Amino acid sequence: MDVSSPSRALTAPERSRRETRERLVEAGTRLFAEHGLHGVTSHEIARAAGVAAGTFYLHFKDKAALFREVVSEAVLHLRARFERVRATARTPEQGARQRAAELLAFAEEQRGLVRILFGRDSEAASVAADLLEDFAAGTAAALADRIAAGEAPSAIHPEVAAEALVGMRARVAAWWAERPGRAPREAVIETLVHLELSSVWRTPADAAPKTGSPRRRAPRAQKPRSSEDPRR
């Protein structure tokens, strides 16, 4: 029997352990968002979750381990949103617009975590770096597929482009999370869409290097009319 099967009913101790872990994650999410990674202790998280301090260490090595799980859980939701966009968007423009909207929604919903991860005084640089690296790998793979299909410029290096895109999104998310009202939502979305479409999601024809003025097709030469042309 496969004990990892999702259809297997949990025993009472397993259910209790899962519920305790969920309370710790919930308490950690709230306290990290309010006080930052270094502004809260594992004992405070345990107390907020309604468990003994020793119980905390049965589930997590330290608060940094809990923080990683909190971030991973939040990012899973963002990944799911981006996957839905990829599955439903019919054009590159539609995809870019929906990704930008989902990014801003995530930054608003997870303001505290976004500020901790990508803010000016990042308290979790290593977690942020791992997270961005993971996102960049997925973006690079998707971009490589686009290039292979002839839907993006072949001159673009997918990994370089992915690092640029992911870095841009992370910085905008942090900037927006600091003060969402600092720019109109639609203006932020339109800017992100423009930057993405004008950089890596263009078609090869659009991305072809231009030297000098664009060439225009010469007008078709017309035969001179004779004096006996009846149309004169």
pLDDT cut 90: percent of the chain above it: 40
Q: Which fold has domain 16-60?
A: Arc Repressor Mutant, subunit A (1.10.10)
Please check the confidence at residue 65 and state whether its pLDDT lies above 80. yes
CATH code of domain 68-204: 1.10.357.10
Cβ atoms 104, 185 nearer than 8 A? yes
- Indicate the pTM of the whole model: 0.72
What's residue 3's pLDDT? 44
pLDDT tens-place string over residues 134-178: 889 989 998 999 889 888 888 899 999 999 999 999 999 989 888
pLDDT at 81 over 50: yes
String of b and e for 132-141 (b: at least 16 CB within 10 Å)?
beebbeebbe
What are the C-alpha distances in Å from 160 to residues 3, 97, 100, 157, 166? Answer: 42, 22, 20, 5, 10
Q: What is the pLDDT of residue 217?
A: 47
The burial class, CB within 10 Å (0-12 / 13-18 / 19+), for 62 is exposed
Whether the pLDDT of residue 224 is over 60: the answer is: no
Domain extents in the chain: 16-60, 68-204
